[in-house]
């Protein structure tokens, strides 16, 4: 009966429902460090939620289909292409067309699709996982394959231009090196995360301006672009990207059911025992509470879920506490709550805003965008790392998603530009 | 003997004395030691309340989100006015029998007596009350009055306190609003436009400089992007003046913001070889 209720009503129920009851008399402890670290690793290895996968697949499919079927394009009738029965995508392409020359294409449909997400969502992973499904059937390529920002922002525009020009002159060799099928060179261009080609400094978005102009003129290829919503809003202010890109979609927010479907397999794989829910408690109240606290963002939900886990050690005190398969631990889920912020100074707010604007960024680049010396920035970074509000991975800093909901509110109340989730 | 015919002026004088004494008896209540003590206690209490109110509101304004800071600060004069009004009413009730005739007699005397002795002070008080409604300045505003520029940090009975850029506090009487023009940079808003001047050689490429200045403004962490950024170019005899007009998110960061803009722009000018005007040569004058 409860599953027939609309999702908004389930959400309201979750605010008032008590959390699942632990074993009476048992003391709940925080997770052991080793278990916490292992679960964190497991979360990072999770595939994207099904809802995102299905939505992105459908949106990309519809956009590319519409573009390919645009009968106004003479290229379409001359290419001899046909719809692939398995993937449904046309594999036709007219090599040798150069966006710099006057293209004969008269397509009226946009040749691009921009997918926006929150700064704490892995938009690049979403696009890559969806496109991997079509790996055999569809030729696509990332023409700008570098995965971290270039050291000198002044060289980004030049490097982007050179890379695109080289790509156009040797499209097949690029396709070969990426392992794609090469009987037709790719007509699908993918930029998984546009924010990696931008920095908030002088010359920092000239690469984006160049890419913007290139894509608009390059009517013979379809471009799929992923971007952080905050970055997109900034780019709209400084180089009016929304005037050029009309086909913009936002990654949908997840509900309780979506999060349950996404995270429960992890729990089952690791053989973590969860206590049975009492019969009078709505079983999905936890997941709807999690969706509410996390604003429907998978990255935030995963961190809040991890923080809501508590442990009861069932083993005797002499046993070796290695927790290899967590069989000695009974984990309980307490009510999920987004993490409270530590005390933030005005400089901390500028720093955190810069991190959310860029997604992830190195220390030196962060100092460059803030306009402060590296030593000053380093001091604040160390304090924030210790408090847990930011984290570091492979030399790059980013905001811990668990703090995102409250941090966004604080930044908005302090007059910062924030993206709308 | 008929007293009226004997000395009419004396009788009038006597009558006036009688009337004055009668009036005093009617106007003032019995002044006792306890009443005086109560009055002193209330004055001290009101003073303490004023101090606490000022301190609390200043403390609170720095703790609330930025968007609420000015709203909280601007309530200071109203709270102070309320406390003073209550004190005055209490004291008047304590010492005076405020019937209509008594009230008219009292105010008439006060107006004449105080008007001449304290005319400037009263003028400032009245100007302060008028300013509450006309709002030429409010607490938190960045204003320029009589050559002094700074943030309005206090709103008193007689004048305002301005905190200047070098940390000085200047007290300016409200009566200045009658005669002096008042420049208000933000009028209750968080943001106030900052104008940053750049002086470059006549031979610079204007388009390149404009591009750098716009990028400097957009890339500064202080910039409020939702408000317009404009660069205005003006030719001078010795060079070209570029005025970059933009808004920081918080008007308090005005000088840090300007510094950031100048630093970013000068770095870019140096990288691109953009030159500054030379000293004018007056040898042919």
Tens of pLDDT along A319-349?
445 555 555 667 777 778 888 899 999 999 9
Q: For the purposes of burial, counting CB atoms within 10 Å of the CB of A129, is it exposed (0-12), middle (13-18) or buried (19 or more)?
A: middle
Q: What are phi and psi of A224, to 5 degrees?
A: -110, 125
User: Is A371 within 8 Å of B216 when comparing Cβ atoms?
Assistant: no
A113, two tokens: 């699709």
Name every chain B residue with its beta carbon within 8 A of the beta carbon of A353: 221
Q: Print pLDDT tens along chain B (285 aa).
A: 455 455 666 655 555 555 555 555 566 777 888 888 999 999 999 999 999 999 999 889 888 888 888 888 888 888 998 999 999 888 888 887 766 666 676 677 767 776 777 788 888 888 888 888 888 888 889 999 989 999 998 888 888 999 998 889 999 998 888 888 889 988 888 888 999 999 999 999 999 999 999 999 999 999 999 999 999 999 998 899 999 999 999 999 999 999 999 999 999 999 999 988 876 554 444
pTM of structure: 0.78
Q: Which two tokens stand for residue B271?
A: 């990288």
Cβ neighbors of A15 (< 8 A, separation 6 or more) are A289, A292
User: Nearest-CA residue of chain A relative to B266?
Assistant: A202
Q: Is B215 on the interface with A (CB under 8 A)?
A: yes
Does position A102 have pLDDT exceeding 50, yes or no? no
The most distant pair of C-alpha atoms in chain A lies apart, rounded to whole Å, by 78
Measured CA to CA, the distance from residue A48 to residue A124 in angstroms comes to: 11
DSSP 8-class letter at B28: B
pLDDT of A50 > 80? The answer is yes
Q: Which residue of A has its CA nearest to B253?
A: A346
Structure-token pair, residue B76: 């200071």
Task: Mutation target for A interface from B68, B221, B224: give the one with most A CBs within 10 A.
Answer: B221
Cα–Cα distance for residue pair A200/A354, rounded to 1 Å = 8
Give the minimum alpha-carbon distance from B211 to chain A in angstroms, rounded to a whole number: 9
A337 CB near a chain B CB, below 8 Å? no
Interface A-B, measured as beta-carbon pairs within 8 A, has a size of: 56
Query: What would the pLDDT profile of B11-65 be if each residue is shown by its tens digit?
Result: 555 555 555 555 555 667 778 888 889 999 999 999 999 999 999 998 898 888 8
Q: Which of B65, B220, B224 is closest, CB to CB, to A371?
A: B220
B183 in contact with chain A, both atoms CB, cutoff 8 A: no
Identify the pLDDT of residue B22: 57
Chain B CA closest to residue A351: B221
Phi, psi of A312, deg, nearest 5? -120, 125
């Amino acid at each position: 009966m409860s599953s027939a209720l609309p999702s908004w009503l389930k959400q309201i129920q979750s605010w008032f429902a008590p959390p699942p009851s632990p074993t009476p008399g048992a003391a709940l402890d925080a997770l052991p460090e080793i278990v916490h670290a292992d679960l964190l690793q497991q979360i990072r290895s999770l595939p994207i939620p099904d809802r995102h996968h299905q939505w992105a697949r459908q949106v990309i499919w519809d956009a590319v289909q519409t573009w390919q079927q645009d009968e106004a394009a003479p290229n379409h009738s001359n290419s001899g292409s046909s719809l692939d029965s398995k993937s449904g995508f046309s594999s036709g392409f007219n090599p040798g067309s150069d966006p710099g020359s006057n293209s004969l294409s008269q397509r009226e449909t946009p040749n691009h699709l921009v997918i926006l997400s929150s700064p704490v969502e892995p938009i690049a992973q979403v696009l890559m996982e969806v496109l991997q499904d079509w790996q055999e059937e569809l030729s696509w390529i990332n023409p700008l394959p570098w995965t971290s920002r270039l050291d000198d922002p002044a060289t980004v525009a030049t490097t982007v231009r050179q890379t695109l020009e080289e790509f156009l002159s040797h499209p097949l060799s690029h396709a070969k090196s990426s392992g794609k099928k090469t009987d037709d060179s790719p007509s699908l261009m993918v930029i998984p995360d546009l924010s990696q080609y931008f920095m908030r400094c002088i010359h920092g978005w000239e690469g984006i301006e160049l890419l913007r102009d290139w894509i608009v003129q390059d009517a013979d290829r379809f471009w799929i672009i992923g971007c952080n919503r905050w970055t997109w809003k900034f780019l709209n202010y400084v180089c009016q990207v929304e005037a050029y890109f009309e086909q913009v979609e936002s990654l949908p927010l997840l509900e309780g059911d979506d999060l349950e479907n996404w995270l429960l397999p992890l729990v089952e794989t690791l053989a973590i025992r969860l206590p049975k829910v009492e019969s009078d408690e709505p079983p999905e109240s936890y997941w709807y509470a999690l969706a509410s606290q996390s604003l429907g963002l998978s990255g935030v939900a995963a961190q809040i879920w991890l923080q809501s886990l508590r442990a009861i050690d069932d083993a005797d005190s002499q046993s070796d506490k290695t927790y290899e398969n967590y069989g000695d631990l009974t984990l309980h889920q307490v009510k999920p709550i987004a993490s409270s912020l530590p005390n933030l100074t005005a400089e901390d707010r500028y720093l955190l805003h810069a991190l959310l604007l860029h997604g992830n960024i190195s220390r030196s680049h962060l100092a460059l965008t803030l306009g402060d010396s590296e030593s000053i920035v380093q001091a604040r970074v160390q304090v924030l790392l210790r408090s847990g509000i930011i984290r570091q991975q492979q030399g790059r800093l980013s905001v811990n998603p668990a703090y995102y909901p409250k941090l966004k509110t604080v930044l908005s109340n302090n007059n910062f530009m924030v993206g709308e989730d | 003997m008929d007293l009226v015919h004997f000395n009419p002026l004396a009788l009038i004088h006597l009558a006036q004395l009688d009337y004055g004494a009668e009036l005093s008896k009617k106007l003032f209540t019995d002044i006792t030691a306890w009443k005086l003590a109560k009055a002193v206690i209330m004055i001290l209490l009101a003073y303490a309340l004023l101090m606490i109110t000022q301190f609390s509101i200043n403390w609170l304004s720095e703790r609330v989100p930025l968007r609420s800071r000015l709203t909280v600060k601007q309530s200071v004069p109203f709270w102070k006015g309320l406390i003073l009004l209550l004190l005055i009413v209490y004291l008047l009730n304590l010492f005076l029998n405020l019937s209509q005739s008594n009230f008219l007699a009292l105010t008439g005397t006060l107006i004449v007596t105080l008007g001449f002795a304290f005319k400037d002070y009263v003028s400032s008080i009245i100007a302060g009350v008028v300013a509450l409604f006309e709002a030429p300045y409010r607490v938190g505003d960045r204003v320029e009055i009589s050559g002094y520029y700074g943030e309005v940090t206090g709103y008193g009975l007689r004048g305002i306190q301005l905190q200047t850029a070098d940390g000085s506090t200047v007290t300016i009487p409200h009566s200045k609003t009658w005669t002096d023009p008042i420049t208000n940079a933000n009028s209750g808003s968080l943001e106030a436009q900052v104008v940053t001047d750049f002086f470059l050689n006549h031979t610079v490429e204007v388009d390149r400089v404009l591009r750098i200045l716009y990028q400097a403004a957009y890339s500064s962490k202080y910039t409020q992007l939702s408000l317009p950024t404009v660069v205005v170019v003006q030719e001078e005899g010795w060079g070209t003046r570029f005025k970059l007009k933009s808004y920081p998110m918080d008007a308090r960061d005005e000088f840090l913001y300007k510094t950031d803009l100048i630093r970013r722009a000068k770095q870019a000018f140096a990288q691109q070889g953009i030159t500054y005007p030379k000293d004018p040569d007056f040898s042919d004058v």
